[in-house]
Amino acid sequence: MKGMKIIIAPLVMVFAMTAIAFGWGESSPTAIGMGGAYTALARHHEAPYWNPANMGLSDTKGFSISIINAGFGLRNNSFSLADYNKYTGKFLTDGDKNDIISSIPSEGLALDVLAEASALNFSVGRFAVTYKAFGASKVSLDRDPIELFLYGNAVMREVSLSSTRGEGYGIADAAVSYGRPVIAFEKGEMAVGASLHYLRGIAYQKIIESQGGIVTTDTGFVGSGNMTLRSALGGSGFAVDMGLAVRFEENWFFSAVWQNTYSKLIWNKDPEITEFAFDMQPITVESASDSAASDSLVTSSDTTYATDSFSSDLQPVVKLGIARQYSKLTWSVDWSQALAPRPGLGLNPRLAAGVEYRPIKQLPLRAGMAMGGNQGAIYSFGFGAHFGPFNFDLGMSNSGSPIPSHTKGAQLSVGMGLYF
């Protein structure tokens, strides 16, 4: 049972279809298609993911319901598909090896996975009820083992494992949101809004300590190390968002939101600490070929014990957005600043811009780009097919390059809904 928990938890965190794309709203294809510049434009049941105050504006009316929305993003900080195709199966020269190592930052090879899914969210006028599941996972691996693999022990004498880090979680979220107009003025209005989220933890896992390494000699290897992992398989908590929205000169929109103004989740179901350790005696060709001694050359152990419940919170983010609507064209710009780091989400500010063009009313076309944050530059596009009350939308983005073969990550979101 102990081993199963160690295996199941990361699988839930990575593959449970779940904001955050890097943030809340990963399952909004309209937002993804516009580069994430959607804070001032989100309406109806999508508004709570971006700014609940938008529901207090007079252009949010009637009833809407989502059928299903889903989004998934995967990114690394080092290699593109073109790099993989270039080096796979090739005899690597010293120049190739240097290029591969120089592509990996000094802090190591990092992989981010984020996902979100929702269904049957609905809004009635200024009120909305939303449900979703979301997850994020980030793993960072030392660069030393890769250098050892490429260069051999003649160059890499010491291999550190102490920078290996990882954290991930899966959470279900049910929220109620409300927006209310507070000021009306000539050609404009102002509204405020808030969302209250009930959070249900699915799984949590974090490497809280990792140390050790391997030393290579002319004839073999020797080393030791240990890693401490904290995990849990359930919990609960709450989060609050607050926002402000303004419409002025009829078709200009400004939006400000503080997502996760307060958030806290107590992980109290099966909280555990697992300690892994290994010890490698000098391994040489002679010792490895000695069948009597080879079984004792590498020893390892793992110990799991129950621990007290612990808490985590969601990343607090401040977002500002401005948008302008014309008869067939809409543009939008967002600025966001995270207030604390989380898996897949850094502290650097992020700027996003997007456009939507409707050559015909039923066929919106979208494009956008964003830069900053820990994702670097992204380039996105999307489209919709809107017939009567039925809307279908799709959004895609590439990380690092608009050319798919040179991207270091990709994101896809699809959604269907009814608007009355």
**What is the Cα–Cα distance from 349 to 342, expressed in whole angstroms?**
14
Low-confidence ranges of the chain (pLDDT < 50): 1-24
Class at the top of the CATH hierarchy for domain 2-419? mainly beta
Report in angstroms the alpha-carbon separations of 153 from 146, 162, 419.
12, 19, 64
Domain ranges within the chain, ordered by starting residue = 2-419
The answer to whether the beta carbons of residues 397 and 410 sit under 8 Å apart is yes
**Tokens at 321, concatenated:** 């957005």
Q: What is the pLDDT of residue 399?
A: 86
**What is the Cα–Cα distance from 333 to 46, expressed in whole angstroms?**
18
Q: What is the pLDDT of residue 82?
A: 83
**What is the Cα–Cα distance from 129 to 123, expressed in whole angstroms?**
6
pTM of the model: 0.80
Which helix (H) or strand (E) segment is 289 a member of?
A: helix 285-289
Q: Which residues of 284-304 are buried (b: 16+ CB within 10 A; e: fewer)?
A: beeeeeeeeeeeebeeeeeeb
